Structure 1
Amino acid sequence: MSTAPPSRLTDRKREAIVAAAIAEFREHGFAGTSMDRIAAAAEVSKRTVYNHFPSKDELFAEILMQLWQRAKGLEVLVYDPARPLREQLLALMAGKLRLITDASFLNLVRVAVAEMMHAPERAQAMVERLGEKEDGDAGLAAWIRAAQQDGRLRPADALFAAHQLQALLKGTAFWPQLAMGQKALTAAEQTRLLNDSVDMFLSFYASPATQGSKT
């Protein structure tokens, strides 16, 4: 009787742990979820859980990272001088929009926000750990700097500009849903938001020469 290679078995156990943890965090919150509960839900030993994730904080950060990676897809923040700016920005920001409208991600962000109210130091550590791995605004800022060096975007603080662009998306498709329980945007609404946000950004940041041509 053949058995699965150890690496594949390990991967399956890790996936089971993550799936169980997501369900537990959603239902019980961060404080109400224990590694024992996660082990039981994943049908693995507690030792196996700790072999994969040294702490509950690490496990929570890993889940956020996996969701972010899934939403980001294969899109890479690399500036292409041969492509129109608008086309590039639409592709780049579409990945961000997929993330912030992902129901699983929103649920876990709610858990993190709730934890911030009860244990701000622990919540801050989660955010910092996630920030070490996720380039977020910094990656977009690098793209903006490259476009500035190419003369297609006007000189400005690239990181601040990246914050502004992402805030246009979050102000409609993330914060209202997270803080006020508003319904998720429809596909048509997401498309309109994406196009309007990129157009607003380019109307301000595109260089005069670029505005006079096809961006």
Structure 2
Amino acid sequence: MKLTEKKRKDILDAAIEEFREQGFPAARVNRIAELAGVSKRTLYKHFESKELLFQAITDILLEQIAAAPKLSYRPDAPLRDQLVAAVRDYVSHLNGEHYMGLNRLVMSELLRDQDLARAFLSKAAMQDGPIKALISGAMQAGALRQADPGFAAGQLLSMVKHFLVWPLFLMGAKAELDNDTVITDCVDMFLAFYGTER
């Protein structure tokens, strides 16, 4: 890693720490530079403002979402098993400590700044999530009835996140539920509505 890349990464890591501890409005650029071990001038060379630094952090979150491997529907395997495995991986990723912390940081600022929220959600909408791709493939193959794959994926994931992600995100504690039971129940409900096999 080049020195400039390392400094940029150090600045982003320090900004994440400062934003988590202080919140975006109270975060101080001097403190970020100090935590990163760089001068304020070096920080501003990489990021012209605190707002641009925060946008870079939102881009990291979006990159982590985009980095999830795309899933293809496999007609040789039961769709239910494919969906259960995909949703299990998705929940595990969302509930990971690094992702959860970054997500909390970004979401708290998006709630405060609607312009930033619109820009973030616009970028996020352009991403094709792995479960949407799996559902789209299953619809094309006739294993699921035709519908908007993004809307259908949103329905499935909203059910699952209600029980397995939001309690951890909001309260820092997992719901006292068995993950696999919740996931399989939600997949079964999804298939009861969208499945073509009756």
With the shorter chain as reference, the TM-score category is: 0.7 to 0.9
Equivalent residue, structure 2, for 1:63:
60
Is contact 1:61–1:129 with CA below 8 Å preserved after alignment? no
Is contact 2:139–2:145 with CA below 8 Å preserved after alignment? yes
Distance 1:142 1:130, change over 3 A: closer
Amino acid of the structure 2 residue aligned with 1:155: Q
Q: What 5-or-longer segments of structure 2 have no aligned partner?
A: none
**Of the candidates 110, 115, 118, which is equivalent to residue 109 of structure 2?**
115
Distance 1:206 1:12, change over 3 A: same
Shift of 1:207: 0.9
Say whether 1:183 aligns with 2:173: yes
Note the aligned Cα RMSD (angstroms): 2.9
Taking structure 2 as the reference length, the TM-score comes to: 0.79
Q: How many residues align?
A: 195
Distance 1:19 1:96, change over 3 A: same
Alignment of 1:192-207 (within 5 A): 192-207=181-196
**Of the candidates 105, 128, 134, which is equivalent to residue 135 of structure 1?**
128
Taking structure 1 as the reference length, the TM-score comes to: 0.73
Equivalent residue, structure 2, for 1:3:
none
**Which deviates more from structure 2 when the two are superposed, residues 75-84 or residues 122-131?**
122-131
Is contact 1:17–1:49 with CA below 8 Å preserved after alignment? yes
Alignment of 1:121-160 (within 5 A): 121-132=115-126, 134-136=127-129, 139-160=130-151
Q: What 5-or-longer segments of structure 1 have no aligned partner?
A: 1-6
